[in-house]
Each structure stands twice: as C-alpha cells, then as structure tokens.
A and B are shown apart, each in its own frame.
Chain A
Amino acid sequence: MKLDLAIEELHRSENHLAGALLAMSDRHKVDHEVFHVARDIARWSQDHVQALARIGGDFGLELDPEPKGDPTVLEKARQRASDLMGRSSAPGMLLLADLRHIYREASGTSLDWELLAQGAQGARKKELLALAERCHPETLRQVRWANGKLKESATQVLVS
C-alpha cells in the first residue's frame, strides 16, 4: 500500500501552497483584497497540513504538524517593497504571474487530494476519506479564487 506516499506528498504540497499564498499576499500588500484573502485562504492549507500530519501517524509517518511559516523579516520586507511600488503599475504583471502560479499549485494539490480520496476509498480507510472530503472542497475554492481573480485583474493590466 502506498497511501503513506500520497499523504506525504500532499503534506508537502499543502505546505508549499500555504507558503506561496502568504508570500503572494506580502508581495501585494497594496492590493488589499489580494493581501487579505490570500492570507485567509492560506489558513485552509495550514489546517490541512496539521490534519495530514495527524492522520499520517496512522500510516507510520512522522510529519511536522507545524505549517512552515514565513520568516517575519522577509514578510515585512516584501510588504514594504509592495508599499513602495504602490504608485507603479508594474506590479500588475507580477500579480497575474502570481495568480497563475497559485492556480497551478492549487490545481496540483487538488489532484493530490483526488488521488488520496481514490486510494482511501479503495483501501476502505474511512477516516482518511472523510478528511479528503472535508479538505478537498477548500482546495477547489482556492483554485476558483485564483482563476476568478486572474480573470478580473487581467484586462486592466493588459490593456492599460
């Protein structure tokens, strides 16, 4: 059985996604909705990391339950840089690139949840399946957010 590998991979990708959302949030502090929503939904990934670490124990894994944080100094530096660039339109392209990145990362994570759910179903691991059913919709909401925000932001950036 390779469920442990799937859990480990998901733990890694959720950790990565949380970090990517937080870093993106800091880079776009002057785009207030992006700044706040990216932080709000990074919490979902952090929560998934903890849950995966917990259930990983049942599969002989020792995963770090503490989601990888962002060093505060770096965080502040990114926010400061964003403030300084607030009057420039250049960050618009960076925003599109970041949203594209989040979309791909979250989509990958979503596929990982699908894999895990399929495996859990086949192996009749009820608790694992329940976890996937709880978490996967949140990943899909992250995907939809990145997609919707990209659509909404693209025109002004590209035509102005």
Chain B
Amino acid sequence: MPRIDRIAEPWGTRTPYGPGETWPTRVDAYLADGLTQDDVDRWVQSATILHSNGDGLDIAVKDERIVGVRGRAVDRVNHGRLGPKDLFGWQANNSPDRLTRPLIRRDGELVETDWDTAMAAVTGRAQELLDEQGPSAISFYTTGQLFLEEYYTLGLIAHGGIGTNHVDGNTRLCTATAAAALKESFASDGQPGSYTDIDHADVIVLYGHNMAETQTVLWTRILDRLAGPTPPQVICVDPRETPVARHATLHLAPRPGTNVMLMNALLHEIIANGWVDSGYVEAHAVGYAGLAKRVRDYPPELAAQVCDVPAEQIREAARIIGQAERLLSSVLQGFYQANQATAAAVQVNNVHIVRGMLGKPGCGILQMNGQPTAQNTRECGADGDLPAFRNWANDEHVQDLARVWNVDPMDIPHYSPPTHAMQMFRYAEEGSIRFMWVQATNPAVSLPELGRIREVLTQDRLFLVVQDIFLSETAQLADVVLPAATWGEKTGTFTNVDRTVHLSEKAVEPPGEARPDLDIFLDFAHRMGLQDKDGAPLVKWSTPEGAFEGWKECTRGRPCDYTGLSYDKLRGGSGIQWPCNEENPDGTERIYVDGRFWSDPSYCESYGRDLVTGAPLSPVEDKAMNPSGKAVLKAAEYHPPHELPSQEFPFQLITGRTLYHFHTRTKTARAPQLQKAAPEVWVEMAASDAADRGFSEGDLLEVGTPRGRVEGKLRISGIRPGVVFLPFHYGYWDEPEGHEPSGTRGRAANELTITDWDPASKQPIFKTAAAAVRRLEEGSGPSLAPTTTASRPVVDGVPPTFGGQAALSTEEPANMPGGAR
C-alpha cells in the first residue's frame, strides 16, 4: 500500500478528474506505530473535528484505546480522504495530561475534588445569583466543537430554564459573519452551496479564504479538478501568498480593511458591463436599483487607490466572474474577521444573485465556518439565535418555541437579540454578569486584547466555570473546572458547512472521571430543578439519541428540517444534508432551487440589519421591503478601518491559522507530528519591508501595538508589503507562566489585537490593527514556520518542513475497504 509523508505533502497524491465527473476515491489512513489494519479490533464511525469540513472517518480501536483513523470511502464529503490534522490529531485523546477529575479553587489554588462537590458549587452560585439578581447575572460561553445534542440541550437550559439572554459561542469569532451575511441576503441562515459544486464549477473564487490550510480536503478536491481536463479558473483574494494564490488564475492582494471597497468595485464592473441575469433578478430579488446606485460610485480606479490593487486586475476579475457559467464562491476569515465584515460577505451573495447563479450544479456560495460543529451552534440556539432558525423578533416564532419546550413564552428572553460574546465579556467587565460557564473554548488566548480579557476573567466578583479536556489558559483562571469527554468518547451528531449531518459514535471510554458534555448539562438541569410549565422536568431526555429526537421535533417545518433523519439512518453510510424530511427523505443537495427562498416575513429567521450601524430592521420595514419572500440585494458604503497605520505604528497586523494547528493548539500541540511541523510562533513580513529595515530570515522581532507586545522569529514570505502576519494558535499553557506572558512580551497574537467588531455580525476584527516592528536580536537560523503553506519562505536556505517516518500515512486508490463497517 503506498505510504506518503503527509506533513510534507499535506494534500496527498493527485487523483485528477474533469467537470461533471465523480471525484475519485482515495482512502487515507494513519495507525499508530507499526500497527496494520489487521491489528485493529474494531472501526467506529465518526467524522473529522479539527476543522469545519466534516470529512467522514472511522476510528480504529485496539485494546479499548484509539490507535488511528481511516477516511470513509463512501462519504460524500471526502471520498475517503483525510487531512494532516485528522490523521494525527486524535493522539491528543490519549494524552497523559487530560483532565480526569473536577477541580475547585480553594485558598487561591485549584485542587482536585469530586463531581458532587464541583456541581454543588456551580449550582449553588448560580442559584444564589438567580435569587439575588436574576437571570441577567448568568452567562454561557460555548464553542463550535460540541455536538448538536449538547448545544440544543444547553440552549433549552439557558433560554428556557434559566431564562438568560446571555448565550453565545466562540463561533462568534469564526462564523458569525457567515450566518449574518446569509440572513441579510436570504433572511435565513442555511448554506446555498454544496461541496459537489466544485465538480461542476468553471470559475471558483475564494474571498479571504485560504482553503488549502483551513479545509485541506476540500482544497484537495479543487487541486484534483485543476489537475484534470478543462480545469476551472480560480480567483484568490488574499493579502498573503497562500497555496490558493499560487494556484490561482488571478490573485488580488488588497490592503487589509478594504474588502468592501474591492467588492463594490467588482459589482460596479459586473453591472456596468451588463453581466446581469435581469430575468432572475426581476423574478427573485428585491433591491437591485439600490445596489446599482450604491456601486455606481465605486469605479475600479477608486478601488485601485484604496485597496492598492491594479484597476486592470479588478476589471479582469470582474470579467472572469461576469462571464462564468458555473460560479462557485467561498468566503472565510479574510472577510469575516475584517473591517465591515458583513457588508463585504453580502456582496459575494449579491454577485450570485445578480448573476442568477444559485441552486444549480456548480453555482453555489459557501459562507464557510472555521470549526467542525459551528453550524450546529447556529442551528440549535447556542450562539445568539433561537433554535431552528426561529426569529427572536417574531412573537409567533417565540410562541412556537415555547410550545415545543412546554414553557411560557415570557420565560424565553426575546426582548432583544441574544447577547453576543463580546458584549458578554463587557457585561462581565462592568460587573452585571457574575457567572460565566465556558465550554470547550479558550477565551484567554482566542479573544482580542488579551490583557483586557485576563483582567475580566480574573475578577473576584466573576464566578468562572470551565468545562474542557485539558487545563487550558482559561481553565487555569476558573473557580471550578469540569473534566469533559471529547470526540471518540461520546456519541452525537454534527453538521458541516454544506449541511451534511454526520453521526459520531463513542469508540472508547473517557479517561478517569471525565464526562460527556451532555451528561454535565443534564446533571446541572437536574440539580437546578428546572421544570416546564406543568412541573415536569424541562429537559425530557437523558441520552444523545433522545436529545436528537427532541431536536427533530424542534426543527419540524423549519429550514433546517431534521425530521427525516435518525441515528439508524446515519449509521453505516455517508452523511446526509438537511433539510431531510418526508418530502426529501434522502436530504437536499442544493437549496434555493428555482429562486425559492425562506425569506417570507412570517417564516424568515431575520428581518435584517443596517450593515453599517448594525441596527435591526423592524418587521414592518422588512414586510414593506420584501413582502413576497425574495432574495435581498443590499450594499453598504465603504468605511475605512478604525485603526490605521501611523508613523509610530506603520504596519497593518493580520492574524490567522496555519495548516498544522487548530485553535489554541490544545489538541494539535499534543500530536507530535503536528507540533513538530509548526513548533513556535513566527512573524511574517514581505521581502521588501525586511530589506528596508535590514532584517533577515530568522531574526528575533518584536511586534507591538498600543495594546501589547509579542516576539517571534521572522519569516520572509510572499505577504503583501506593509502587512505583518502572526499565527494566532500560540498561547502559554506549555510555557512557564501557564496562562499569561512571563515577561513584557508574549507570544499570543491576541496580545496585540484591537477590541472592535462588525456591528452587523458582532464578529471581532482580527485583520486590521496598526503595528510597529523592531528587531530584538539577529537570528542564528531560519524561523521554524512551515515551508509548505502560506508561510513558505521566499529566501533560499530554509530547510523544508517534513514529518519523516513518523508521518507516513497510507493512501489507497478507489474501491478498497474503508466504507461501511
């Protein structure tokens, strides 16, 4: 069986295919030292959890331990393939420093305790605050990494039981703008695209989306199209020279913070050249005149100056998009975490609406997610929305939810949109939130302006509960730490970007006393005595499957209809795309076919917001604008970023991911192959900027902003001049101080970032801060940044990133095992 170093070759071997053909199967597997597939006791069905792609895989179990993984050949998403993080990341499950017992703070120190003591402390404080202040004191900050069943149960407990409006996830940092943009254009969340659109598209545009590193298997699909006959044209919009940029027909590298200017100019060209499907727009959209008027003021020459992209490139991009026959667009953090995030992402939707390119093979929009289960956080009402895309501003929707939950509608807070994460931290800062329960996320590294976040989290008046699998930076600050089970140790479902629902079964027991997140929530509900309006227990289930059945009822008739799904149906085969119901028993590959949308005012999830001020539109305004359920074309004027470069801070700082790590490295740093591939933080700069200052590859630099300082070794890369890049994964848990910098300079990129967010999506801005750079020491060797990715060096003499023997994985071409058990 062919073996290949998947650290050195992150996307594996090409299996080329042509337009309209089926993507060939290639089954990727990695088993721990020396084991072969014959040694495995059993294979347990699951899907990938270290990114948002949702690739089907089987977990290998031997002697009741996880020993490896293998892609599922039958799966519609990956056709057997896995990325490096999937092949190696599972090893973190077996890490000896997993949390195995609850911890409680006694005399300032976290000490081990039993579950009863820990939960009594949690419920005791919650009850005290409910009596003293009411639900406004209680908040839940969840994640994009639990399972659907857990989010839905959490949403029910928090909204329907405790009655707090303060529930959000770290999905606010990764996917809030995806949801917001879809709600603006289609009045409801729900992904118009399907991954199979890659098989058909003749033009693929990636807006601020380094797919090669964030969704490696999806990018592999594009690479295989590019290697086959009649390949698609690819347009890349990114200030870095990413692997996507290197494969692109056209690469636009705009100045950070200017996406709306660029998009308005693209729409200007598309409309001015008449590349508009007028029939489609007339029949299925409102707001065309307003859009045309808005973009009239944005000729390519103006955008060329503001974005620092040649006008000719903007024209060429518009021409390729305007003449595409099957256009696929994907959008990610380069837009979502930047200035005017929603306005920029909405313009991508607008391109598809004016070109009539929706609901047909090859014609899709992928407003992407960063995390594996972010879609479920959005669907289940754990992220600042109500469950099943119900509209908090529509009284009938709230009444309907109250019926499903058997509670009084007044018990479900709906006086305003549910509180977003950044506002929750503000309420904690000013002292009105006094209880925060953080699950499977690490705000002490992932939120902007860490100095401030640490000050908020360490206040005595804030009771902090952290539920996690490791003692993260945030957990170290907690009053109570609850040890959780993770993927492979519990059963549940989750849904990826293109609405594919996968079942992930329990393969092994969790370590020590660690418990599934669902069990922890159920225990909390039970101890709090949460009841419905008839005095019966509020939460009516005790198992994941019971929760799933409850969720199905909640989704009946809603856009994300799960009523046709069951655990049995998800077992054995591939994932299934919602809506899946009586009419669509096998799921639905594409929504919005024939211009039918979910935007009717009585049905829609959202009435929309002002893209600049974020002010919600009223039902009356929405009805007047879009009475008959069409798509909505809207656009905003360009506003410059709030923090611009100055003499003191001449660079623009952007932060982002690398292929080999996930989030704050809690799992990936505990997988030796991944940690070795990207062992430490680095600073990326353009060759011209480095030359101007006399810096060389590997020099130790300090990057400073008005908020903090970070040090790292210089990697001279293909990034655009004037911009500095830092990866955001590196925190302090494997450093001496454990949760904060040990000196005046840290290594977490978020020491530097600004507290500012898009008013429409409330997603924080990580891509535009003004920064200064100076050299601390000359380097003794190159930076250890990966050479296989966007951080590829532009100077000679840097040894290539490789994994060696330890990273050899198998690749089997078509029609081999790896399917159903």
Contact, CB under 8 Å: A141 / B430:
no
Contact, CB under 8 Å: A148 / B615:
yes
Most buried by A among B422, B612, B613, B755: B613
Shortest CB distance A93–B (Å): 12
Quick check: is A41 within 8 A (CB to CB) of the other chain? yes
Contact, CB under 8 Å: B432 / A32:
no
Shortest CB distance B421–A (Å): 12
Contact, CB under 8 Å: B615 / A147:
yes
Quick check: is B62 within 8 A (CB to CB) of the other chain? no
Interface residues on A, range: 20 to 34
Contact, CB under 8 Å: A89 / B430:
yes
Per-position binary interface string of chain B over residues 746-758, scored 1 when its CB falls under 8 Å from any chain A CB and 0 otherwise: 0000000001110
Quick check: is B679 within 8 A (CB to CB) of the other chain? no
Within 8 A of B (CB), among A64-97: 86-89, 91-92
Within 8 A of A (CB), among B592-619: 610, 612-616
- With A89-B431, A160-B432 already in contact, the answer to whether A40 and B756 are too (CB < 8 A) is no
For A43, the chain B residues whose CB sits under 8 A away are 639
For B614, the chain A residues whose CB sits under 8 A away are 33, 37, 145, 148
Instruction: List the B residue with the shortest CB-CB distance to A33.
Output: B759
| Bound-state Cα–Cα, A86 to B459, Å | 13
| Bound-state Cα–Cα, A40 to B137, Å | 31
Quick check: is B15 within 8 A (CB to CB) of the other chain? no
Shortest CB distance B107–A (Å): 25
Contact, CB under 8 Å: B429 / A30:
yes
Within 8 A of B (CB), among A5-37: 30-33, 36-37
Contact, CB under 8 Å: A144 / B613:
yes
Within 8 A of A (CB), among B403-431: 415-417, 419, 422-423, 426-427, 429-431
| Bound-state Cα–Cα, A158 to B165, Å | 14
For A88, the chain B residues whose CB sits under 8 A away are 430-431
Shortest CB distance B292–A (Å): 16
| Bound-state Cα–Cα, A154 to B756, Å | 21
Instruction: List the B residue with the shortest CB-CB distance to A145.
Output: B613
| Bound-state Cα–Cα, A39 to B640, Å | 12
Quick check: is B136 within 8 A (CB to CB) of the other chain? yes
- With A37-B759, A152-B417, A160-B136 already in contact, the answer to whether A87 and B431 are too (CB < 8 A) is yes
| Bound-state Cα–Cα, A37 to B432, Å | 23
Contact, CB under 8 Å: A86 / B615:
no
Quick check: is A149 within 8 A (CB to CB) of the other chain? yes
| Bound-state Cα–Cα, A89 to B136, Å | 13
For A86, the chain B residues whose CB sits under 8 A away are 429-430
Contact of B165 among A32, A142, A155 (CB under 8 A): A155
Contact, CB under 8 Å: B613 / A37:
yes
Per-position binary interface string of chain A over residues 24-62, scored 1 when its CB falls under 8 Å from any chain B CB and 0 otherwise: 000000111100110111010000000000000000000
Instruction: List the B residue with the shortest CB-CB distance to A159.
Output: B136
Shortest CB distance A107–B (Å): 14
Instruction: List the B residue with the shortest CB-CB distance to A43.
Output: B639
Quick check: is B229 within 8 A (CB to CB) of the other chain? no
For B133, the chain A residues whose CB sits under 8 A away are 159-160
Quick check: is A126 within 8 A (CB to CB) of the other chain? no
For A36, the chain B residues whose CB sits under 8 A away are 642, 756, 759
For A145, the chain B residues whose CB sits under 8 A away are 610, 613-615
Per-position binary interface string of chain A over residues 131-153, scored 1 when its CB falls under 8 Å from any chain B CB and 0 otherwise: 00000000001101101110110
Contact of B432 among A30, A33, A89 (CB under 8 A): A89
Contact, CB under 8 Å: A155 / B415:
yes
| Bound-state Cα–Cα, A33 to B754, Å | 12
Contact, CB under 8 Å: B422 / A32:
yes
Contact, CB under 8 Å: A91 / B165:
no
Interface residues on B, range: 20 to 34
Instruction: List the B residue with the shortest CB-CB distance to A91.
Output: B430
Within 8 A of A (CB), among B641-677: 642
Instruction: List the B residue with the shortest CB-CB distance to A88.
Output: B430
Within 8 A of A (CB), among B110-158: 133-134, 136-137
Instruction: List the A residue with the shortest CB-CB distance to B417.
Output: A152
Shortest CB distance A35–B (Å): 9
Contact, CB under 8 Å: A141 / B429:
no
Shortest CB distance B57–A (Å): 41
Shortest CB distance A92–B (Å): 7
| Bound-state Cα–Cα, A31 to B426, Å | 7
Per-position binary interface string of chain B over residues 423-456, scored 1 when its CB falls under 8 Å from any chain A CB and 0 otherwise: 1001101111000000000000000000000000
For B137, the chain A residues whose CB sits under 8 A away are 160
Contact of A32 among B417, B426, B431, B612 (CB under 8 A): B426
Contact, CB under 8 Å: A41 / B756:
no
Contact, CB under 8 Å: B612 / A156:
no
For A91, the chain B residues whose CB sits under 8 A away are 430
Per-position binary interface string of chain A over residues 113-141, scored 1 when its CB falls under 8 Å from any chain B CB and 0 otherwise: 00000000000000000000000000001
Contact, CB under 8 Å: A156 / B610:
no
Instruction: List the A residue with the shortest CB-CB distance to B762.
Output: A33
- With A89-B431, A156-B427 already in contact, the answer to whether A141 and B136 are too (CB < 8 A) is no
Shortest CB distance B792–A (Å): 36
Contact, CB under 8 Å: B759 / A155:
no
Shortest CB distance B294–A (Å): 11
For B165, the chain A residues whose CB sits under 8 A away are 155
Contact, CB under 8 Å: B416 / A152:
yes
For B416, the chain A residues whose CB sits under 8 A away are 151-152, 155
| Bound-state Cα–Cα, A43 to B762, Å | 21
| Bound-state Cα–Cα, A91 to B427, Å | 12
| Bound-state Cα–Cα, A147 to B612, Å | 15
Contact, CB under 8 Å: B429 / A87:
yes
| Bound-state Cα–Cα, A148 to B607, Å | 13
Contact, CB under 8 Å: B615 / A40:
no
| Bound-state Cα–Cα, A41 to B612, Å | 8
Contact of A155 among B136, B422, B756 (CB under 8 A): B136
Contact, CB under 8 Å: B136 / A41:
no
- With A33-B757, A36-B642, A89-B431 already in contact, the answer to whether A41 and B417 are too (CB < 8 A) is no
| Bound-state Cα–Cα, A88 to B163, Å | 24
Contact, CB under 8 Å: B615 / A32:
no
| Bound-state Cα–Cα, A37 to B416, Å | 19
Contact, CB under 8 Å: B610 / A144:
yes
| Bound-state Cα–Cα, A148 to B416, Å | 9
For A30, the chain B residues whose CB sits under 8 A away are 426, 429-430
| Bound-state Cα–Cα, A107 to B531, Å | 45
Contact, CB under 8 Å: B136 / A149:
no
Contact of B639 among A31, A33, A40, A141 (CB under 8 A): A40
Shortest CB distance B166–A (Å): 9
For A142, the chain B residues whose CB sits under 8 A away are 613
Shortest CB distance A110–B (Å): 14
| Bound-state Cα–Cα, A88 to B432, Å | 9
Most buried by A among B133, B416, B616: B416
| Bound-state Cα–Cα, A37 to B339, Å | 12
For A147, the chain B residues whose CB sits under 8 A away are 615
Contact, CB under 8 Å: B136 / A32:
no
Within 8 A of A (CB), among B761-794: 762
Contact, CB under 8 Å: A156 / B136:
yes
For B431, the chain A residues whose CB sits under 8 A away are 87-89
Instruction: List the B residue with the shortest CB-CB distance to A32.
Output: B755
| Bound-state Cα–Cα, A41 to B416, Å | 22
For B419, the chain A residues whose CB sits under 8 A away are 156
Contact, CB under 8 Å: B430 / A92:
yes
For A155, the chain B residues whose CB sits under 8 A away are 136, 165, 415-416
Per-position binary interface string of chain B over residues 93-105, scored 1 when its CB falls under 8 Å from any chain A CB and 0 otherwise: 0000000000000
| Bound-state Cα–Cα, A92 to B427, Å | 10
Given A30-B429, A37-B759, A87-B429, 6 extra CB contacts under 8 A? A32-B422, A33-B614, A92-B430, A141-B615, A144-B613, A145-B615
Interface residues of B, Cβ cutoff 8 Å to A: 133-134, 136-137, 165, 415-417, 419, 422-423, 426-427, 429-432, 610, 612-616, 639, 642, 755-757, 759, 762
Q: In the A-B complex, list the 6 residue pairs whose CB atoms are closest, starting with the nearest.
A: A148-B615, A160-B432, A145-B613, A144-B615, A152-B416, A145-B615
Show 14 A/B contacts (Cβ-Cβ < 8 Å), sorted by A: A33-B759, A40-B613, A41-B612, A41-B613, A43-B639, A86-B429, A87-B430, A144-B610, A144-B615, A145-B614, A155-B136, A156-B427, A159-B136, A160-B133
